[in-house]
Copies of this chain bind each other. A is one copy, B any other.
Amino acid sequence: MEVDFSNIKVIGFDADDTLWVNETYFRDAEEQFASLLENYETKNKIDQELFRMEMNNLDLYGYGIKGFMLSMIESAMELSNNQVSQATLSQILTLGKNMISHPVELLEGVKEVLDVLARQYRLIVLTKGDLLDQERKLERSGLSEYFHHVEVLSDKKETNYQNLLDHLEIDVKEFLMIGNSLRSDILPILNIGAQAVHVPFHTTWKHEIVSEVDENHQYLTLNGLKQVLDYL
């Protein structure tokens, strides 16, 4: 695929699973959650029910670990028919607290790529999730210095991106987004007329998977972030 990035002046980076590991911790937590409840249901059923609960609560709680914790508590009571022990509920709370305080693990090549790109482009972070949690991760990541601006969005739909670009006075023609989620980082960006580079992470949350991509959508897919230096 041919791409032309010669107009690009500002590059937006997704954070979770683009700059640092995130989804892996959710998958680990789901595994542990299923183990804690293995007396009540099969792993498969537990996974399904937790996901269903998260989707039910998404409008109310939004994205992030605290909403995930509340959904785990609610699921545990439901799946066990209110038989789950309070020791188990406490373990679920601890599981979530450990996720929040987990050290940040940068993905391969991130520092190297930012080091190069920061010299030539204005770099910003565009992430969704919990405000405090994302600010904390950026601070722990040691990457703050590379970014002109960090925006935590409640969602990543066309309007969220358009409003932000307007606010930061960024021309869509000069904006490139790099991220791991087709649904959140790539498609809405292409829909508003900006460009996008897809760097898939090995794990994608079911909610972020899109089943079909319009053929008119043109974007680059790379195997790792470092490859972006071949194009920029």
Contact = CB atoms under 8 A, between A and B. Distances in A.
A152 B131 contact: yes
Number of copies: 2
A70 B77 contact: no
A217 interface: no
Main secondary structure of the interface of A (DSSP, over half): helix
A60 interface: yes
A69 B60 CA distance: 13
Interface in A71-97: 73-74, 77, 82, 84-87, 89-90, 93, 96-97
Given A60-B100, A70-B93, A77-B86, 12 more contacts: A60-B97, A60-B101, A62-B133, A66-B67, A70-B70, A70-B96, A73-B93, A77-B90, A82-B85, A82-B86, A82-B90, A130-B130
Contacts of A66: 61, 66-67, 70
B167 A154 contact: no
A1 interface: no
Interface residues of A, number: 32
Contacts of A96: 70
Contacts of A69: 70
The 6 lowest CB-CB distance pairs between A and B, nearest first, are A62-B132, A82-B86, A66-B66, A132-B154, A131-B131, A131-B154
Nearest to A92: B73
A135 interface: yes
A204 to B, nearest CB: 22
Contacts of A135: 154
14 contacts: A60-B97, A60-B100, A61-B100, A62-B132, A62-B133, A66-B66, A69-B70, A74-B93, A82-B86, A89-B89, A130-B131, A131-B131, A131-B152, A135-B154
